[in-house]
Structure 1
Amino acid sequence: MYWSVFSWWLVFAVIHRVSPPIGVIIVMPVFLIKGSHMATFLCSVSFISYMANFLGGILLISDGITLAVASMASRESMGKTIASTRKACGLTQKQVAEQTGINKTTLSEIENGRFTGSLDIFERYLDAVGLQLELTTKQHRLPGWDEVDKLFAEDE
């Protein structure tokens, strides 16, 4: 993918709809932007986002940068919720580790949003503090200005 934010263009994607009414053709604008030009992209995100919304289009960002930021924020948020629930229960990480058989380091990774292990471990920890895992439809969002530093931390 070698798209550039300087040369972004509007592509009209023709989508054939299979649900009733059959045979209806929908024309939808799609904006294509290269992920490696994220700094420039963030400067013009308001305009592009407005145009995509105004025209009923879809904003595609290559390299999954936006999804990674959203996903990390979600993990951090879940970790904070788990940690505060554990503390409200009057439990230390050491006590939860002994109760569940999960390594204290792993509990810390979960609470800090850095855990990439098994769902079984995650569920055992949730169960120990009286929480449960629920699934909802993902809400996509663009990174906020305060998240720009996190996006480019590895570039420095």
Structure 2
Amino acid sequence: MGSIRTTEQLGNALRAARKQLGLTQPQLALSAGVGVRFIVDLEAGKPTLRLENVLRVIDALGGEIQLTGLPSTPAVNPEG
């Protein structure tokens, strides 16, 4: 899969993954613990969806997010 830079591209990619897995929108919603309306909105590229739920859907599809191109930062020491 290529680079995703818009909510529409993300929605299209997730719809394609769902269909490739043979899942309906209600089945994916149940698996991810979200409503069917959320899946519909996500696949339509709605830009104001809750990130936590987007991540749940990606996980339910067996995917993960990887960020590239960001500057690297040194590890933060939790003790300060």
Query: TM-score, normalising length from structure 1?
Result: 0.39
Structure with the larger strand share: 1
Q: Which residue of 2 aligns with 1:90?
A: 22
Give me the whole-angstrom Cα distance separating, in 1, the residues matched to 2:32 and 2:6.
24
What's the offset of the Cα at 1:118?
A: 2.1
Give me the whole-angstrom Cα distance separating, in 1, the residues matched to 2:69 and 2:50.
21
Indicate yes or no: 2:42 matched with 1:110.
yes
Indicate yes or no: 2:50 matched with 1:123.
no
What's the offset of the Cα at 1:133?
A: 1.4
Gaps of 5+ in 2: 71-80
Q: Contact (CA 8 Å) 2:10, 2:45: kept in 1 or not? A: yes
Runs of 4+ in structure 1 off by over 2 angstroms are: none
Corresponding residue to 2:9 among 77, 83, 90? 77
Q: Contact (CA 8 Å) 2:33, 2:56: kept in 1 or not? A: no
The amino acid across from 2:23 in the alignment is L
Query: TM-score, normalising length from structure 2?
Result: 0.72
Give me the whole-angstrom Cα distance separating, in 1, the residues matched to 2:50 and 2:44.
16
Q: Deviations over 1:81-140 (max 9, x none)?
A: 1100000001000001112220111111111110412221011000111111122338xx
Which structure has the larger Rg over C-alpha atoms?
1
Give me the whole-angstrom Cα distance separating, in 1, the residues matched to 2:47 and 2:14.
13
Give me the whole-angstrom Cα distance separating, in 2, the residues matched to 1:109 and 1:127.
17
Identity %: 32
Evaluate the alpha carbon distance shift between residue 127 and residue 106 of structure 1 in structure 2; reply closer, same or farther with a 3 A threshold: same
The amino acid across from 1:84 in the alignment is A
Q: Contact (CA 8 Å) 1:82, 1:111: kept in 2 or not? A: yes
Which runs of structure 2 are paired with 1:3-152 in the superposition (5 Å)?
74-137=6-69
How many aligned positions are there?
66
The amino acid across from 2:62 in the alignment is G
